[in-house]
Chain A
Amino acid sequence: MIARLRVAAFLPVLALALPAAAARSLTPELQADALYEEALGLLSEGRAGDAASILREAVTVSPGHWRSHCALGRIHAESRQLDAAVASLEAAVAIQPDAACMALLAQALLVGEKLDRAEVVLRRAAALEGAGESVLYNFARLLDRSERFEEAVDVWVRYIAVATDPARAASARLRAARLLALLGRPLDAVPYYRALLAGDPARQDVRSELATALMRASRHDEAWAEYEILMASGAADAAALSSAGSICQLRRDLKCAVDLLGRSVAMDRSSIPTRVALAMAQAQSGDDEAAIGTLQAIVADDPENVKAWFLMGQSLRKLGRVEEARRAMERHERIHEKIMREKMTPHPP
């Protein structure tokens, strides 16, 4: 009783002037309000069980009292009574589509692996103006997990704009960047990679992804700047060295191209395209003997490599080894003809 009187101090003005017993003589809504406030007080004292009883009383008195339904749902959720939580929260949002309550409902449904129902709730909540960060976070994750990446990335971007948790925001930025890159929007990914690096310049894995995105967007100068940092820090892997080497090649810096492509191949011999690029750079820099050596090793591993046979024919020809060049080109033509015949089929292939 003492507690009830104390809680009544927080009731609306009309109820404030009355003891709880008197409040019960008011309209059901006012009664429920009073009970709700009383329950909040109990909750603040850690008496969740008592609070739940009061809230049940409140929704009995006034079934439309959505705040009590919502508070009851929260208590159930916290005590892992998921079905009860969902029932109360669904009752609440059916009456009033409150963002916080919907967030709770979605959370309960997600924990209960009721993903379809969770998505319906999250979609409604996310559509509300000022949707909370937990709604956006959960919705983005749900879409991401179900591989609806186009929609997921939009929600991640919304989440990043309101995120208050730095760690979670960072992981969301990385996820958004990766999804954007995956979706063929490398330029859109770049600001997220850059934001991450601004907070943590030592993340060379992120820098490597940024450089890859820049390469895909044909921003070679910017990509080169990132590769230079990666190489200086010793964090450039074979793929990074290969890409950096291809930039050198395009810029006619063949010494640089041969060096970087060679280092890439030394690090990972399995990349045939990098080995072919190395042979090209060797030939362009005038070292056809080295190119032929590289190409012979490629065709030993991959006898049908059409590019390698072509380049070998060109280098042999330059060295005046005409008959060997002719044989290499014939080999190239045979392989290429086969590829062409397979490719030149009526649409659809």
Chain B
Amino acid sequence: MILGIALRLALAAAAWEPSQGSFTDVTAAAGLSGLHVVSGSAAKDYILETIGTGVAAFDFDNDGWQDLFFVNGSRLEGFPAGEAPLQRLLRNRGDGTFEDVTARSGLGAHFWGFGAATGDYDNDGMTDLYVTAWGPDRLFRNRGDGTFADVSEASGIRDDRWGASAAFADFDNDGLLDLFIANYVSFDTKKVPRRADPERPCWYRGAMVMCGPTGLEAEADILYRNNGDGTFEDVTARAGIRTDIGMFGLGVAVADYDEDGDSDIYVANDATPNQLYRNRGDGTFDEVGAMSGVAYGSDGTEQGSMGTAFGDYDGDGRLDIVVTNFSHQSFQLYRYAGEGYFEDMTYPSGLAEATFLSLGWATGFFDMDNDGDLDIFFANGHVYPGVDAMQIGTTYLQRNQFMRNDPAPSGAERLFVDLGRQARVAPDVLRSYRGGGPFDFDRDGDLDLVLTVMDSPPVLLRNDGSASGAWIGMRPIGRVANRSGVGVRVAAAAAGRRQVRHSGGGGSFLWSADSWVHFGLAGEEKADLEVLWPGGGRQTFRGVKARAAYVLVEGEPLRDARAMRAPAP
């Protein structure tokens, strides 16, 4: 009895204190260290071999645990029979380990893949999978029995351009997920010179490197409208997606940044201006990147952009944008100031100096320490294996960056502090990282990270540093809105503080994940939630208990996600 009272007193005294988060590399323990991906030659003679491959985290079997799909590449000279690398599906057993179920899933195909997009395009309650490729992209329909059917042909998907990132989102608010694909370069070994081709060499800072993207032909992006009968229609030109001059598309993120009730698209382009497609409300778009202040770097020139994400980092309820770039350009941070205009915060936020030498790919806003504000991660690695010898301060293998969101000394702004320079928050292993993003793979209430690595096994970083912070997690499921809950926006209010999170589609680089809304609540054990569904549906929940995950079904009460089998459609 006395012991019980003492314990309760001790727990009450253990108030929340800010931590900086810490990540443990559990790749091997999770059974992922034997998973090799291929991305061409080690010398990286062609641009095709340099951008790497991605990963998707999605609960393909609806058991409440997010599984992993790793995209695999290839090499130009091909492979002997039986040795070709396959796309890989790994089932989350729920005990911290993953089981390779590729063979029985029907996803074990060999093609040169890059990115993945997940979403329930046919609203049958099972999450489907789209994989971008050099050559025809693939659409796999989830049959619901642990297997997938390749429906690329039957669905009318005909994109055989080199695709990078892709995103499912409902652009016309008809309750069906449409599909946007950021395409990169028109690549043909007959046209593109090999690295160090004596007749057509390509140079970077005095060294011969692989050619591109500048000087190569860009591919136009593509928008497919979901017809609702299992087929898609190419509406790219009709929707106002630019086709007259291609951009080198690599990253895509979708969000309703202007809060007018429809999904807008931001495209991160390599060596060409980034694009912001503002939805007119009917699934057609105006490209407003330059006018909105998000097309260029801080000096008004295009950058080598790779990945991107939306998130409200400054707590004003508006969605801001982060973009990863080539080395010596710094990563961009744009704060949405309202009225269609973004303010460049790259320098004031500290990102300019912290990321000047980094070449970044995957990125995302996430509350890594559950303190109630959005931090940022960057997955870094250069494209030129020979860059170390160039003596320009950067290296091929780089460390990831965890940027903690702090108040600026002036108090008026937010300052991102690179924790790698202060303390060891994650195994500081230099690699050439590429795709990936945050997801709660062990359902313990903090966000973990999975990242792909060029020509190497992926890395799974378990978040172990935010245990004391309260949190709420939600998986949205639409009824009127698309079933995947893409486009949902949730505000959480606790102790006078309001946070807005969204589940927009796409984001990061070569990455996709189930819709998941996560709030860090610091020391607050309850929050009031306001939910805005795409299409206009609203819900309010008062006094929602923290330290719990919920299934958020449109129009229904919140339900505990401990037995998180999704409800039937």
Inter-chain contact A332/B293, CB cutoff 8 Å:
no
A217/B391 in contact, CB under 8 A:
yes
Tell me, yes or no, whether B234 is within 8 Å of chain A by CB.
no
Contact with A along B328-342 (1 / 0, CB 8 A): 100000000000010
Give the residues from 278 to 336 in chain B that come closer than 8 angstroms, CB to CB, to chain A: 290-291, 293, 296, 298-302, 328
**Contacting pair B353 A306 (CB below 8 A):** no
Structural contact, A284 and B348, CB atoms closer than 8 A: yes
Smallest CB–CB gap between B411 and chain A, Å? 15
List 29 A-B residue pairs with CB atoms under 8 Å apart, sorted by A's residue number: A183-B206, A184-B206, A184-B390, A217-B393, A218-B356, A218-B392, A249-B347, A251-B353, A252-B347, A252-B352, A276-B299, A280-B298, A280-B299, A284-B348, A310-B296, A310-B299, A311-B299, A314-B344, A326-B291, A329-B290, A332-B290, A333-B290, A340-B273, A341-B245, A344-B217, A344-B218, A344-B246, A347-B215, A347-B216
Contact B356 A309 (CB under 8 A): no
User: Which listed residue, B205, B302, B353, touches A252 by the CB 8 Å rule?
Assistant: B353
B residues less than 8 Å from A277 (CB atoms): 299
Binds B, one of A54-62, A110-118, A185-193, A235-243: A185-193
Contact status B299-A307, CB under 8 Å: yes
1/0 per position for A310-334, CB-CB distance to B under 8 A?
A: 1100100110000000100100110
Q: Tell whether, in the assembled complex, residue A345 and residue B215 are in contact, meaning their CB atoms are under 8 Å apart.
A: yes
Q: Is the CB of B216 within 8 A of A336?
A: no
Pick the residue among A318, A326, A336 that contacts B343 (CB under 8 A): A318
Whether, in the assembled complex, B421 has its beta carbon less than 8 Å from a beta carbon of chain A, the answer is no
A347 near B211: Cβ-Cβ < 8 Å? yes
Interface flag for B420 (CB, 8 Å)? no
Residue on B nearest A182 in the bound complex, by CB: B206
- Interface pair A307/B300, CB less than 8 Å apart: yes
B391 touches A347 (CB 8 A): no
- Cα of A231 to Cα of B47 in the assembled complex, Å: 44
Docked pose: A217 CA to B390 CA in angstroms: 9
- For A250, the closest partner residue in chain B by CB is B353
Does any Cβ of B come within 8 Å of A343's Cβ?
Answer: yes
| A158 interface hit (Cβ, 8 Å) | no
Shortest Cβ distance from A347 into B: residue? B215
* Nearest B residue to A345, CB-CB: B215
Partner pick for B191 among A250, A252, A336, A347, CB 8 A cutoff: A347
Which parts of B152-195 form the interface with A (CB within 8 Å)?
191-193
Nearest Cβ in chain A — how far from B261, in angstroms? 24
Question: Please, which residues of chain B bring their CB within 8 A of the CB of A346?
Answer: 191, 215-217
Give a binary string over A166-187; 1 marks a CB under 8 Å from any B CB, 0 the rest.
Answer: 0000000000000000011111
- Number of CB contacts from chain A to chain B under 8 A: 95
Q: Does B394 contact A (CB under 8 A)?
A: yes
State how many angstroms separate the Cβ of B360 from the closest Cβ of chain A. Answer: 16
Ranked 8 nearest A-B pairs via Cβ: A218-B393, A310-B300, A184-B206, A347-B215, A307-B300, A187-B391, A250-B353, A307-B299
B206, B207, B212, B299 pick with most chain A CB within 10 angstroms: B299
- B200 interface residue, CB < 8 Å from A? yes
Q: How far is the CA of A344 from the CA of B244 in the complex (A)?
A: 12
A344 to B245, CA, bound (A): 9
Residues of A within 8 A of B245 (CB): 340-341, 344
Partner of A317, one of B217, B272, B293: B293
A340 CA to B347 CA, complexed, in Å: 26
Q: How far is the CA of A341 from the CA of B214 in the complex (A)?
A: 11
Interface status of A130 (Cβ within 8 A of chain B): no
Q: How far is the CA of A329 from the CA of B246 in the complex (A)?
A: 21
Instruction: Decide yes or no whether B357 CB sits under 8 A from chain A.
Output: yes
- Within the complex, the shortest CB–CB distance from A337 to chain B, in Å, comes to 8
> How many angstroms from the CA of A183 to the CA of B217 in the assembled complex?
31
Interface residues of B, count at CB 8 A = 44
B564 to chain A, nearest CB (A): 44
Which of B211, B347, B390 is within 8 Å of A284, CB to CB?
Answer: B347
List B contacts of A185 (CB < 8 A): 391
Interface check A46, CB cutoff 8 A: no
Which residues A113-135 have CB closer than 8 A to chain B? none
- In the complex, the chain B residue whose C-beta lies closest to that of A306 is B300
Q: Which residue of B lies closest to A188 (CB)?
A: B391
Answer whether A347 and B205 are a contact pair too, CB < 8 Å, given A187-B391, A250-B353: no
What residue in chain B is nearest A184 (Cβ atoms)? Answer: B206
Contact of A349 with B215 in the complex, beta carbons under 8 Å: yes
- Whole-angstrom distance between the alpha carbons of A343 and B248 in the complex? 13
Q: Which chain B residues have a beta carbon within 8 Å of chain A's beta carbons?
A: 191-193, 200, 202, 205-207, 211-212, 214-218, 245-246, 272-273, 290-291, 293, 296, 298-302, 328, 341, 343-344, 347-348, 350, 352-353, 356-357, 390-394
A148 within 8 A of B: no
Residue of B nearest to A318 (CB): B343
A309 CB contact (under 8 Å) in B192, B212, B300, B357:
B300
B298:A184 contact, CB within 8 angstroms: no
Assess the A336–B206 pair: CB atoms within 8 A. Answer: no
Given contacts A311-B300, A329-B291, A347-B193, list 11 more A-B pairs with CB under 8 A: A184-B390, A250-B352, A252-B350, A280-B298, A284-B347, A340-B245, A343-B214, A347-B191, A347-B200, A347-B202, A348-B193
Taking a contact as CB atoms closer than 8 A, the residue among A216, A307, A318, A347 that contacts B392 in the complex is A216
Tell me the nearest residue of chain A to B271, going by C-beta: A343
State which of B192, B212, B293, B301 has its C-beta within 8 Å of the C-beta of A306.
Answer: B301
Is A219 positioned at the interface, with any CB of B under 8 Å from its CB? yes
Distance (whole angstroms) from the CB of B349 to the closest CB of chain A: 9
Residues of A within 8 A of B350 (CB): 252
Query: Is there an interface contact between A218 and B216, defined as CB atoms closer than 8 Å?
Result: no
- A277 and B341 CA atoms in complex are apart in Å by 22
User: Which residue on B lies nearest to A309, using beta carbons?
Assistant: B300
Contact with B along A275-309 (1 / 0, CB 8 A): 01100100010000000000000000000001111
| Chain A contacts for B302, CB-based, 8 A | 336, 340
The reply to whether B215 and A348 form a contact with Cβ atoms under 8 Å apart is yes
* Whole-angstrom distance between the Cβ of A323 and the nearest chain B Cβ: 12
CA–CA, A187 to B395, complex, Å?
A: 14
> How many Å lie between the Cα of A276 and that of B216 in the bound state?
30
A307 to B353 Cα, complex, angstroms: 21
How many whole Å from A346's CB to the nearest CB in chain B? 6
Chain B residues with CB under 8 A of A332: 290, 300
A188 to B391 alpha-carbon distance, docked (Å): 8
CB distance from B127 to the nearest CB of A (A): 37
A183 CA to B273 CA in the complex, in Å? 31
Contacts of B357 in A (CB 8 A): 218
Q: In the bound complex, what is the Cα–Cα distance between A332 and B205 (angstroms)? A: 28
Once the chains bind, are B348 and A347 in contact (CB under 8 Å)?
no
Partner pick for A340 among B206, B272, B300, CB 8 A cutoff: B272
- Name the CB-closest residue of B to A312: B300
Q: Measured between alpha carbons, how far is A276 from B300 in the docked complex, in Å? A: 10
Query: Across the two chains, which residue of chain A brings its CB closest to B345?
Result: A284
Question: CA separation between A252 and B415, bound complex, in Å?
Answer: 11
Residue from B191, B344, B347, B356 with most neighbouring chain A CB atoms (10 Å): B347
Q: Does A184 contact B391, Cβ atoms closer than 8 Å?
A: yes
Q: Find chain A residues with CB under 8 A from B192 CB.
A: 347
Which chain B residues lie closer than 8 Å to A311 at the CB level?
A: 299-300
CB pair B212 A347 closer than 8 Å: yes
Kindly state the separation between the CA atoms of A220 and B214 in the bound complex, as whole angstroms: 28
**B339–chain A nearest beta-carbon distance, Å:** 9
Task: Tell me the complex Cα distance, A252–B245, Å.
Answer: 37
Q: How far does the Cβ of A40 sit from chain B's closest Cβ, in whole Å?
A: 52
Alpha-carbon gap, A336 to B392, bound state (A): 28
Indicate with 1 or 0, residue by residue over A253-294, a CB within 8 angstroms of chain B CB atoms. Answer: 000000000000000000000001100100010000000000
CA A314 to CA B291, docked complex, whole Å: 9
Tell me the bound Cα distance from A317 to B334 in angstroms: 15
Whole-angstrom distance between the alpha carbons of A317 and B291 in the complex?
10
Interface mask (A134-175 → B, CB under 8 Å = 1, otherwise 0): 000000000000000000000000000000000000000000
CA of A5 to CA of B347, assembled, Å? 88
Cβ–Cβ < 8 Å partners of B216 in chain A? 346-347
* Complex interface: chain A residues within 8 A of B343 (CB): 318
CB distance from A275 to the nearest CB of B (A): 12
Bound complex: CA of A187 vs CA of B296, how far in Å? 31
